[in-house]
Amino acid sequence: MFELAPAFWLLSAAALAAILPFKAVRAALCVLMPLVGLWQLWSMGIGASSHASLAGFELTLYSVTKVNFVFAVIFLLISSIAGVYAWHVSDRGQQVAALSYASGALGVTLAGDFLTLLLFWELMAVASAWLVFARREESSIRAGVRYLLVHVAGGSLLFGGIILFYGQTGTLSLQALSPEMGASAWLILAGVALNVALPPLHAWLPDAYPRATITGAIFMSALTTKSAVYVLLVLFPGWDLLIYMGLFMALYGVVYAVLANDIRQILAYHIISQVGYMVAGVGIGTALSMNGTAAHAFSHILYKALLFMGAGAVIQATGVSKLSDLGGLAPKMKGVVWLFMIGAFSISGFPLFNGFISKSMIVSAAGEAHYYGIMLGLLLASVGTFLHTGLKIPVFTFWGKDQKLEVKPIPGNMYVAMGLVAFGCTFFGVYPQALYAMLPFDAEYHPYTAYHLVEATQILTFTFIGFWVLRAKLAGEPYLALDTDWFYRRGAPVAQAVIVKPVNAFFGAGAKVRDGIAAYLASSFGNPRAWFGVNKGPSDRFDPDLERAPLGAGLAFILLVFIALFASIAILG
């Protein structure tokens, strides 16, 4: 059975969940199958691979390397814990989608060639879209369709790039690309950048994540962007452009998080911001920075899942998701407050939490590679992270003006899942060696130096003071902020004018000419006898009773031929 790639385990679990009648058994599959995959991955170890051939292509269904091992571990771990968080869900579609989605992410991560990667990439897009549709609200269904269309477009860019790459190199195996390769590398980059949520290709993320189901958003926050970060790490290490794009992402998310009002949308914009660090780490391209990318992806998945779980618990209990409608929940949701704050401290980079031990790696790597502007820019983004996730969301949700909301109890399994992730956030924060031992590249790093502690403490303390002075400005406001989804949500009339109308006009004119020619041919060739002056007039006035020779004439002719035939046989024979 170990011949089967871990991703296929999950996919067969999804198929099983599609037919199993018992809700609890399906929920157990969602929790246990990722753990089976994890056990398999761990026992196979680095270096394991499996090959197959399809239509003349040699495929590497999975190939465990030092780079993808750490990503695969965290994907399986978080899928299992998200399964615990979703234990109470009885919607079969969501369970099947979640398992397929995890399978897609794992397949992408372990794939050894472009074709396998592409297949799992598309599986991820479809399965994750289902987690948006499953909310069954009109706005979710519309957002889900937009999400799916954008990802199909991204998949096409990737596919186009892969075809060109195969044409250039004659191989499908994954390898680092260089800008000199031209269109193939850039198309692949565009396709991957879309899943990384690199602006301006990011708008699907803050559009869809706040509209996904409460439990589905946990999977989404963990899998799509981070599997793309892994692909970026393998294909585009050391691309200078990515350093600057990474910093741009980190700050872009911060600005929009000030303007966003939905708590899960604020978290979604901070995914973009945090992934910006990872992208910058890929761009810097040193062993330390790329270790930082892998470590930060690992940490980020844990604390971001915890934050989405906390926000989901608030929405589950109150039915409210907008910051401007929330407030005063702390006395009613004490456990959630504590757990959410652990996630908030982690993402903000407080010492002893896991954000500190991974974010600081990328920031230090920028400094060591002499990118001082980038280093300060990333520190600026980290101020924004603490400001929104650590202060704005909890202060206005749990404290602030008491909105007298009714708080329904949330299922116990949600607390269990949050507790597990919170343990992970603190465990790796206190004992970073457990994570560092899994990192792919050879670089030594010590997070708990006096300098780092001073830096983090002073920045965090004075960010807090700045927040306290200006906190009135940060209260949620009932507005939405325009983002690049405007182009495809409001671009329809323009697209109509530019793409649809000229094409329609061209084919319309063509059809007119075609009909004219057909009409001319029909009228002039419909009745050839008219050319010889016999019953002139158009063919449609042809009256067979009058103008066709009588039936008897034809029969007489045939009879005559037979007589001639027999006569000649009789005479000659």
Partner 1 sequence: MKKIHWILLGMVTLASLALQYFGPPHPHPHAWDSVPLFYCIFGFVSCVLIIVVSKFLGKVWLQKKEDYYEGDNDV
Contacts of 354 (CB under 8 A, 6+ apart): 299, 302, 303, 346, 424, 425, 426, 427, 428, 429, 432, 435
- Binding map of partner 1 across residues 198-237, x = CB under 8 A, - = no contact: ----------------------------------------
Question: Which three-class secondary structure state does DSSP give residue 54?
Answer: strand
Looking at residue 53, the DSSP 8-state letter turns out to be E
Q: Which residues contact 244 (CB under 8 A, 6 or more apart)?
A: 283, 374
- Minimal CA–CA distance to 279: which of 240, 311, 253, 308? 240
40, with CB counted inside 10 A (0-12, 13-18, 19+), is middle
Please choose, from the candidates 377, 334, 375, the residue with its C-alpha nearest in 3D space to the C-alpha of residue 248. Answer: 377
- Residue 247: CB minimum distance to partner 1, A: 14
Q: Is the Cβ of residue 273 or residue 354 nearer to partner 1 in the bound state?
A: 273
Q: Is 255 in the site for partner 1 (CB under 8 A)?
A: yes
Q: Hey, what amino acid is at 550?
A: P
The residue within the footprint of partner 1, chosen from 72, 203, 379, 417 (CB under 8 A), is 379
| Joined tokens for residue 174 | 């994954």
Separation CA 224–CA 207 (nearest Å): 14
DSSP string, 379-414: HHHHHHHIIIIIIIHHHHHHSSS------PPPPHHH
Question: Which residues within the stretch 65-124 sit at the binding site for partner 1 (CB under 8 A)?
Answer: none
- CB nearer to partner 1: give 91 or 368: 368
Is the Cβ of residue 165 or residue 445 nearer to partner 1 in the bound state?
445
Touching partner 1, residues 413-432 (CB under 8 A): none
Considering the rule CB under 8 A, would residue 405 count as an interface residue with partner 1? no
Using CB under 8 A as the binding rule, whether residue 35 contacts partner 1 is answered as: no
Q: Is 126 in the site for partner 1 (CB under 8 A)?
A: no
Residue 25, H or E segment: helix 23-44
Residues that contact partner 1, how many (by CB under 8 A): 52
Quick one: 149 or 511, whose CB is closer to partner 1?
A: 149
Does 498 contact partner 1 by CB under 8 A?
Answer: no
Residue 367 binds partner 1, judged by CB under 8 A? yes
Report whether 192 contacts 212 (CB < 8 A): no
Element of type H or E holding 60: strand 57-63
Of 28 and 255, CB closest to partner 1: 255
Q: Which of 53, 442, 451, 546 binds partner 1 (CB under 8 A)?
A: 451
- Residues 417, 306: Cα–Cα separation, whole Å: 8
3 state SS of 173:
strand
15 binds partner 1 (CB under 8 A): no
395 binds partner 1 (CB under 8 A): no
Pattern of binders to partner 1 over 128-147, x per CB under 8 A?
--------------x--xx-
With both helix axes pointing from N to C terminus, report the angle between 216-235 and 114-133 in degrees, rounded to the nearest 10.
Answer: 160
**Contact between 18 and partner 1 per CB under 8 A:** no
Q: How far is the CB of 114 from partner 1 (least distance, A)?
A: 30
Footprint (CB under 8 A) of partner 1, residues 458-497: 458-470, 473-474, 477-483, 488-490, 492
Under the rule (CB under 8 A), what is the footprint of partner 1?
142, 145-146, 149, 254-256, 258-259, 367-368, 372, 375-376, 379-380, 383-384, 387, 449-451, 453-455, 457-470, 473-474, 477-483, 488-490, 492
